[in-house]
Structure 1
């Protein structure tokens, strides 16, 4: 290589006073010129420490709190890493779910006739989580994960179950705070399971966010029908609950058949 970095240019580079374009040119030259690299002073211990820190952050990142919790709960390491990377399992999503549930509980306690608001909202929370659990538009690691044996319906089911479990646990913790008998306070559970099953079954024909939106629309239509016949609570009665249970079984079986193809 016929050209080498002049001393004054190298000094300005080391001081960090070069404009970005010129600094990038020096970087590119150092990558190809061993003589100029040898002329750049450095501390061996500092360089080794820096590389070790980069390796720890980029190659072997420290497990997140959720990943460590899953591992301690007996979940295999690879599955814990996969679940903790679910976009919907972020702190922002969890905070949003808690905020929605808290608002619904406070509203019901302040005014008993607002109790249906909680029962209506709770089944839709898993749908929102599933919508942001899988797909190239919502998951920054989708292309990477798609190349693994966990891709496709299996990955969607795994992440959907994680989102559903968290949503059900949070809503279950909020239910005893409602001003209603235990049976009515838990009337959201089967509709929530049916909505999640319907979203998974429909995902074989539509993108997951669209499937979640469609199922959410169906649920709101059911609520509207109940309101039309006299009361929102009508859709949470014994007969509709049996229907939700049957729907869970049928839709889950449908998703299983499609995923096995």
Structure 2
């Protein structure tokens, strides 16, 4: 590697040759691949080197087969994609199921269902029901966004510099960007009826999401999400079964007030979020390996 200054370096011919023939050490290969994302010159150099190997011939055959099977317009798009479309495609891929698939309609269904209960069904505790479910919605989004069950190319992506915790955090941010404003706005539109403020769930939801990511480094995303979401629902719903039929939502609202209202409760959630973040950073190397669950 040659260095123009302390921050900028470019690949040498020897480094590129070792990368192309597969003899470059794995950490150096990852570093080079990360550099290629932002250096067109080095990317072109590596591309030419790889094309001269046996792998290059195979890649050319695959490319020709794909272009031959695609319509003419699609072939031109593959050969020379528009920069804006290329960036949009990378963004959608990085966001994962947070903006595609069944997860987004499910979040919309929760919001619309709460509105139907509050105004169409005349349920006075519709906001309480929404606030009880809202903190686990981003947790479910995380479980559906990262792991071998969520991405058919997970093994390939997880081994790349753009994979691991970086990709998990990118998809988590997309999940939060969708669910937090949508569910909070829905809560604002619903009658209060003695429940906590519509935004009171935001810090608990963030803490549960970060806790899920930290726990996932030990047991996998789906198991971690099940543990955190199940724990929350059990905690908030524990007093409800003993309530008289007409007071279920009232009892739920009281329990939510204990969990959400006041500086003490919110401070505890903030501390939980900080501790979960610290544990997640300490467990970051676990995301460099494949999460099997």
- TM (norm. structure 2) is 0.60
Q: CA RMSD in A?
A: 3.3
Structure 1 position 165 matched with structure 2 position 177: yes
**Match of 1:232?**
255
**Match of 1:100?**
110
| Bigger shift: residues 184-193 or 99-108 | 99-108
Structure 1 position 250 matched with structure 2 position 275: yes
Matches within 5 A, 1:158-237: 158-180=170-192, 184-225=197-238, 227=240, 231-233=254-256, 234-237=258-261
Q: CA deviation at 1:50?
A: 6.0
Larger radius of gyration: 1
Structure 1 position 116 matched with structure 2 position 139: no
SS in 2 for 1:205: helix
Q: 1:104 to 1:127 in 2, by over 3 A?
A: same
What do the CA deviations read for 1:54-76 (whole angstroms, capped 9, x no partner)?
535667778999x64xxxxxxxx
SS in 1 for 2:162: coil
Q: CA deviation at 1:145?
A: 1.4
Q: 1:182 to 1:120 in 2, by over 3 A?
A: closer
Larger relative contact order (Cα-Cα within 8 Å, sequence gap ≥ 6): 2
The 8 Å contact of residues 127 and 187 in structure 2, kept in 1 or not, is answered as no
The 8 Å contact of residues 139 and 229 in structure 2, kept in 1 or not, is answered as yes
- Matched length: 205
Structure 1 position 53 matched with structure 2 position 73: yes
Q: 1:166 to 1:236 in 2, by over 3 A?
A: same
Q: CA deviation at 1:122?
A: 0.9
C-alpha distance in 2 between matches for 1:129 and 1:61: 30
Q: CA deviation at 1:183?
A: 5.8
SS in 1 for 2:125: helix
Matches within 5 A, 1:7-18: none
Q: Which runs of 5+ in 1 are unaligned?
A: 1-46, 69-76
C-alpha distance in 2 between matches for 1:50 and 1:219: 49
C-alpha distance in 1 between matches for 2:126 and 2:195: 17
Q: 1:107 to 1:61 in 2, by over 3 A?
A: farther
The 8 Å contact of residues 196 and 260 in structure 2, kept in 1 or not, is answered as no
Q: 1:91 to 1:136 in 2, by over 3 A?
A: closer
What do the CA deviations read for 1:82-121 (whole angstroms, capped 9, x no partner)?
424x134215321111111111233234222332101011
